[in-house]
């Protein structure tokens, strides 16, 4: 009986030890699970915050890119407008406002360049001064608007007679300058006579008169 009692006590003690050990293991497991859950929650919150921050930065980056694109487009438009304005100003600075031909300063610069090239390569170069006959009589008889119309008509005839290879400029008043590189004396005389004949045979309507 004593042996059985001792054995029963030993068994009970072992059972209690196992229960205590199992309880500690269970508590340790629950603690580990709690810690794992806490870590998972923290990581989830960190990840969610990072995603929110990334989304905000992405949206801000898209907004900045849109602003940069719009600014770039406006800058390109402004640059194109400025370039066009510069071209217009350069053209206005070298153009006679009445006839649309080159003006005297531009003609002088072109003549200097043409003479320098002619001296360098020895090529042909024709230079002509053209004057409209009886121009004062036209102004006196028909008025200055008629005279301006005549200047524009003669300028147009000169430009079409000499073509794009030559410079035709208004020298002043009813005088014009022609600078024609590559045109020799015979060619210059031919074009001059052709111009004279075209002007002589032309008729300019003006306020019911000719």
Q: How far apart are CA 44 and CA 37, in angstroms?
A: 10
Q: How far apart are CA 147 and CA 99, in angstroms?
A: 12
Q: In what order do the strands lie in the sheet with 125-131?
A: 125-131, 175-181, 167-172
**Identified catalytic residue from 17, 174, 175, 193:** 174
174 noted as active-site residue: yes
User: Which residue carries 């930065």 as its tokens?
Assistant: 57
Q: Which residues pair with residue 177 across a beta bridge?
A: 129, 169
185 neighbors 126 (Cβ within 8 angstroms): yes
Q: How far apart are CA 185 and CA 174, in angstroms?
A: 24
Q: How many CA atoms lie within 13 A of 6 on its CB side?
A: 3
Length of the chain: 210
Pairing of strands 125-131, 167-172: unpaired
Question: Catalytic site residues?
Answer: 174
């Amino acid at each position: 009986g004593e042996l059985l009692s001792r054995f029963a006590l030993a068994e009970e003690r072992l059972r209690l030890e196992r229960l205590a050990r199992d309880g500690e293991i269970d508590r340790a497991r629950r603690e580990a699970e709690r810690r794992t859950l806490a870590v998972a929650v923290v990581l989830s919150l960190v990840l969610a915050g990072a995603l929110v921050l990334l989304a905000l930065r992405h949206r801000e980056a898209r907004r900045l890119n849109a602003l940069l694109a719009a600014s770039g487009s406006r800058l390109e438009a402004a640059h194109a407008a400025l370039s066009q304005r510069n071209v217009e100003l350069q053209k206005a600075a070298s153009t006679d406002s009445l006839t649309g031909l080159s003006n005297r300063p531009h003609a002088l610069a072109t003549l200097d360049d043409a003479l320098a090239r002619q001296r360098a390569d020895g090529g042909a170069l024709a230079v002509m001064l053209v004057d409209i006959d009886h121009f004062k009589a036209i102004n006196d008889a028909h008025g200055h608007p008629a005279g301006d119309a005549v200047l524009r008509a003669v300028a147009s005839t000169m430009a079409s007679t000499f073509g794009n290879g030559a410079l035709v400029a208004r020298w002043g008043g009813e005088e014009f300058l022609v600078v024609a590189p590559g045109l020799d004396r015979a060619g210059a005389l031919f074009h001059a006579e052709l111009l004279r004949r075209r002007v002589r045979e032309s008729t300019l309507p003006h306020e019911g008169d000719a």
